[in-house]
Structures are given as C-alpha cells and as structure tokens.
Amino acid sequence: MSAAEGLLAEARAWLAQDPDAQTRAELEDLVARAESGDEDASADLASRFDGRLAFGTAGLRGELGAGSARMNRVLVTQAAAGLAAYLREQAGHDDEPPTVVVGYDGRRNSHVFAVDSAEIFAGAGLRAILLPRLLPTPVLAFAVRHLGAAAGVMVTASHNPPNDNGYKVYLGGADDGSQIVPPADADIAAHIERIATESTVDALPRSVGYETAPESVVDAYVDATAAVAPAPDGAEGLSWVYTAMHGVGWETFERIVATAGYPAPTTVAAQIEPDGAFPTVAFPNPEEPGALDLAYETARESGAELIVANDPDADRLAVAIPDAAAEGGWRRLTGNEVGLLLGWRAARLAADGGRREGASLACSLVSSPGLAAVAQHYGLDFHATLTGFKWISRAPGIVFGFEEALGYLVNPDTVRDKDGISAAIAFLGLVADARGHGRTVDDLLTEFGDTFGHFASDQISLRVEDLSIIGRIMAGLRERRPERIGDVDVERFDDLAEGVDDLPPGDVVRLHLAGGSRVVVRPSGTEPKLKAYLDVRGDTRDDARERLDALREAVGALLDDLS
C-alpha cells in the first residue's frame, strides 16, 4: 500500500467511527477530493493525520476539525475513556467508584465535548458530575476539591485562537486538585493510546446516568472567593471597568463583586457575554496588542480609575491603570508587576496572621525574582518552579504563587490553580485600600521598589520557521557559557537539563548577572519560538529601566550571533 493509499485508509477508518455530522462531512469532502487527485486536499489530509494530538501535562489542546491531529469528538471520547481507565486502575479494589467532575466554557463544541466525557465516564462505571452550565475554569478546579473528586476535566482552550479547544485534567486526593504532572500524564496517555488502538469510539460503553452538579457548588465558590478580600472603606465610589473578553467570567464575577461589597464596574458591553467567535478581538488574550482597546475606550468614556480583564475562561487576570505618558492614556501592568503586588499582599497577610512558619511564596523560574525578595523580607520560604501552575501549585506551604503570563494563585485553600477571578478580587482590595489612604496603584509600585528593590522585566521572543535554529541557539549557549553579556559579568550559569535546585530537568538555561540581573532562555512549549526572559534590579525605577534597555540590546545581539 502506498503512503497516499494508507492515508486514505486511515481517513476512512476515522470516518467510520466519527459521531459528529459536521466533522464527518468535512472529512468526506476531503477524502473525495483527494481520491480525485486534488493535491491541496491530500496535503490537508496529511496534516490532519500527522500523528495524534499529544496528551501531556496540559491535557489536550489544538485546532478543531476532523482527524487524529485535531480536537474533535473522536479524540475527546478516547481521552475520556483513557482517563476513566487510569482512574479505575488507581482506585484498585475500592468499594466506591471514583468521582469525576466535568466543566466547560463558551468555546465552540465545549458543551458537546463535556457531555461526551460525562457519558463515557458514567459508562465506565465512574460517578460523573457535570457542572450545571458554562462556567470559569477556576470553578471546575474548586469543584474537584469541594466534591472530593478523584479527577476533574475542564473543556477549554483558555486564551487560544477562536478555532481551538482543549481538555485540561486535574487530579484530586493527594494531588489536592492540581493539574496533572508526570508520571500521571504518560500513564493516562498510554491508556488513551491502547483504547484508540483496540477499539472504536462507537463501541465504548456510554451512559446518560451522569449527575448535574447543584448550584450550591457555584455558591460555595462565590462565597469562598468573595472572602478573599471583602471591600474596605476605600472601595466606596471606586470607578472601574471590566471585560470578560467574550468569555465566561462575568456571571460568576458579578456575584462575587456584589458579595464582597465592591461597587459594580462599567462593563465593556461588546465583550461581556460568552461568544466563542470572539468577534471584537483578533486574539482573545489580554496580553496581545489591541485586545484591551475597547476596555481603554470604555475607561476613557467613563472616567474610570482602573481596568480589570479576564481571559475567556477567567483563569488569568490583566490590570490597566491611567498613565499620561502611555498612548491613549492607559497602561497595562505586566504580569510581574501584578504578581509582585499580590505577592506583597499575601506576605503581609501571612506575617500578620502568624503564618510565617512553613509558609511560602512561589513563582515560575521565568517570573520576576522580586518575589524572592518579598519572601526574604517577611521571613517566608520561597520556591522557584518550572513554568506552569501544575508545578507552582505544588510548592510546599504555598500561600501565593504566580507566573508572568498573567496567572495568579491567591487562594490555595480553595483553588490549586491560577484563578483570574480571585486574583481580581484581591487586586480590587489592594486598590481600594490604597485609595482609602489617598494613594494609587502607581504609588504602590513605587513603594514596592523602595522597599524591596526596583525590579523591571522584559521578554525577547524569537519566532522561527526552521526549528533547528532553536536547537542551535540552546546548544551554543551551553557550549559557550558566556562570561559577560554586554558590559555585565555572568556570575553563574545554570543548565537545567543537568538538574538544578531540585527542579525537574528541562531545556532551560539561566544566567545570573552581577548587580542582580538575570536572563532565562528556553524554547516555547506551544509555539515555534525561543524565549528569553530578562530581569534587572535597579536603585530607582529609572535606573532599572536603563539597565533593562541595555540588557535587552545585549541579549538580542547574543541570540543573533548564536543563530
């Protein structure tokens, strides 16, 4: 059989088990065109069946469409069956079947994938609980612990492009509601592969005997999150803007804002309701240029003091403040700026509450080293982890964790994952408290710098067509081990592939520079990019900015030379 004949046979076998009329029609058309000699159709087919969409520590995530390399009902059904087999294996001979709770957001096919999963879990003899409607990812993460579930699945692609969807897995029990990490991911993937090889999805047992979670689960999340930062006196009269970025955050967040006692925001009307087409943004990620333009416009019209934004599944938070020097009069704070302010808040609360012993702050190794300075100041432990909240959430004694990509864990007693809603309430509390003392967010940033050092951060992102360039740069850094970057001495070179500071091995190099600066370089885990994270510490804010500018130029030149 030729490669072309093998590809067509694979596509027909997929068609025979696909329960979705839309993806069947999509694939039938491609097969017919490929059979007639259409080279474009053959190339499209090859792309769709170029291996399987990998199940890893983030579960599944990819473009919607027919084929083993896309997100669709066949792939999701196999993933659910594989997870069910893993959970039954872990449960052993327990009398009670494992419980799995399933949530979903407003993306295309999220509800369909969630119901498929619940039916497969129930058909496998598990107790399956479906959340009552589309809800934020943090509600699902909360529900895993609240319901004592063995696992949870959230159908979401977070802030990915509109035509993507995903499948995020959490584990209960000893994992305490955190996202999966090795070896669980590989064990689940092995079960999925076995089921995909041995069976077709139409032969897998299903049952409509799953449960729908009661509203009390959502109520409990609302109450727990509102308690993170009840409104202080300074909240009265606070004028602020909120956008849900066409996602699912507003319904839940609105209740929490009212319960906590904050004034209602002015909402970005065009973005407040869930819409999986994301019609007003090119990319539904508040970090992307232009994503907050409507929020800025709304803030100018309403005379707001603050902008708060969630990404579509509300597990991330973006904040913007007035800035006369910025184009349009508003500036989005970096993830590091927000993370350091929230970390400072958490450290004060831990110290004031007598929780210094064993309490810790944690962040990913590419996030600002300023958090370590805060922990040291308050006598708390500090942990730097690999990127991702699957690692941050597992830091011993954690009271707060963050990563620079707008993710914050502020309420670890209830949610062991990033939570853009509880982070928003915590930040509102910071703003309102400062406001009550006649101060602004910018004043807080200045005070932070005066107390702990003026930290500034940036990122160089090198997108490549040829992936070998990334390997060449990483190999060059390891071979050369630069002794200087620009005019600054390199005091220590860490190759995390060799294992450093008890971190799991990873394709990351970290350079510690004189004067407290740092450079971390790693390949992106999701895109054809090399990323360099730059951090400096200055005596003043202006000094930090000047050091950062010089470091950015020097690192850019180094990467160009190595490529």
Per residue in 154-179, pLDDT (tens digit) is 999 999 899 999 999 999 999 999 99
What is the rounded CA–CA span in Å between residue 234 and residue 435? 5
Q: How confident is the model at residue 526 (pLDDT cuts 50, 70, 90)?
A: low
Percentages helix, strand, coil for the chain, rounded to the nearest 5? 45, 20, 35
pLDDT in tens, 38-87: 999 999 999 999 899 988 767 899 999 999 999 999 999 999 999 999 99
Domain 453-562: CATH superfamily is Alpha-D-phosphohexomutase, C-terminal domain (3.30.310.50)
Give me the phi and psi of 211, to 5 degrees please: -100, 160
pLDDT tens digits for 229-263? 999 999 999 999 999 999 999 999 999 999 999 99
CA distance 451 to 431: 18
| Degrees to nearest 5, angle at CA 88 with 86 and 90 | 70
- Fill in the amino acid letter for 392: I
CB within 8 A of 70, min separation 6: which ones?
A: 48, 53, 62, 63, 64
- Selected residue with higher pLDDT from 505 and 381: 381
Residue 356, pLDDT score: 74
| Entry pTM | 0.94
Q: How many other C-beta atoms lie within 10 A of the C-beta of residue 259?
A: 17
d(CA 453, CA 295): 31
Give the domain 72-212 fold: Alpha-D-Glucose-1,6-Bisphosphate; Chain A, domain 3 (3.40.120)
Check the CA dihedral 336-257-312-246 and report its sign: negative
Domain ranges for the chain:
1-50, 72-212, 214-452, 453-562
407: left (phi over 0), alpha (psi -120 to 50) or beta: beta
In angstroms, rounded to a whole number, what is the distance separating the alpha carbons of residues 26 and 3? 21
Tell me, what's the pLDDT at 94? 79
Look up 68 and say whether it is catalytic.
no
Distance CA 28, CA 310 (A): 39
Same fold, 72-212 and 214-452: yes
Cβ pair 278, 312 in contact under 8 A? yes
CATH topology of domain 214-452: Alpha-D-Glucose-1,6-Bisphosphate; Chain A, domain 3 (3.40.120)
How many residues make up the chain in this entry? Answer: 563
Q: How much is the pLDDT for 440?
A: 96
Distance CA 279, CA 266 (A): 20
Helix axes 215-226, 137-146, angle to 10 degrees: 100
327 DSSP 8-state letter: G
pLDDT in tens, 210-235: 999 999 999 999 999 999 999 999 99
Which letter does DSSP use for residue 354 in this model?
Answer: T
Q: Which of 42, 117, 158, 178 is catalytic?
A: 158
Closest CA to 157 of 288, 387, 312, 282: 312
465: confidence class by pLDDT, cuts 50, 70, 90: confident
Cis upstream peptide for 183 (omega within 30°):
yes
Q: What stretches of 101-183 show up as alpha helix (H) in DSSP?
A: 110-123, 137-146
